[in-house]
Amino acid sequence: MAPAPSSTSSAVTLNINGEQHQLTVDHRTTLLDALRERLDLTGTKKGCDHGQCGACTVLVDGRRAVSCLNLAVAAEGREITTIEGMAEGGQLHPVQQAFLDLDGYQCGYCTPGQICSAIAVIEEHAAGWPSAATDDVRPEAGPPALTPDEIRERMSGNLCRCGAYVSIVQAVTRAAEDHEAAAREDDRAETVKGAAA
Ligand code: FES
Ligand code: FES
């Protein structure tokens, strides 16, 4: 039975992968430990437990976050997506598929965090966000091309002890290209619909 809330613990409801989970957590419990130890969502990995390796990356309200540095109590009311929530209707997320097709992993331990980060990187880039590797950050310069250097910089918080970086960059490149092509197709469909209205 879940322990009752006390001065050192609170009852929280966490929205994870579209499902509400009610649990009582010690105030010091990290989101990572709540996921792994309390909710059995072990796809999110613990590497350093100090915010330095990215293995524990999840999406919080669509933005990437290292779950070892976030408290579970602070995650209440946020939309949390873990690697278990990426596939839809039995179909892998396109970034998962790209990692699979292009061997973007070896042992796979860092892979859930890499995939969560890559999904956010592609969205951040599509929204025009610059990175430390962007040469020209003036608004009139437009969004930077998602070059391998850009990807390496944007993914630099995710370490891979197997050194699968070459394939990871290739997988992110392909997934980003697919994402752009899908966005262009959506724009085209909207234009056609607008013209027909
Ligand atoms: S386990 Fe969280 S960053 Fe390493
Ligand atoms: S695939 Fe082994 S740590 Fe990255």
Average pLDDT over residues 115-138: 94
Domains and CATH numbers, the chain: 9-85 (3.10.20.30), 94-196 (1.10.150.120)
Cβ distance 68 to 50 under 8 Å?
yes
Residue 108 beta carbon below 6 angstroms from any ligand 2 atom: yes
Residue 53 beta carbon below 6 angstroms from any ligand 1 atom: yes
Helix or strand (DSSP H, E) at 32: helix 31-33
Which of the four pLDDT bands, split at 50, 70 and 90, describes residue 190?
A: confident
Which of 12, 84, 104 lies closest to 42, judged by CA? 84
Cβ distance 162 to 106 under 8 Å?
yes
Q: Whose CA is nearest to atom 3 of ligand 1?
A: 51
Which is higher by pLDDT, 139 or 126?
126
- Report whether pLDDT(2) > 80: no
Question: Cβ–Cβ contacts within 10 Å for residue 155, how many?
Answer: 21
Interval 40-99: pLDDT, tens: 999 999 999 999 999 999 999 999 999 999 999 999 999 999 999 999 999 999 999 999
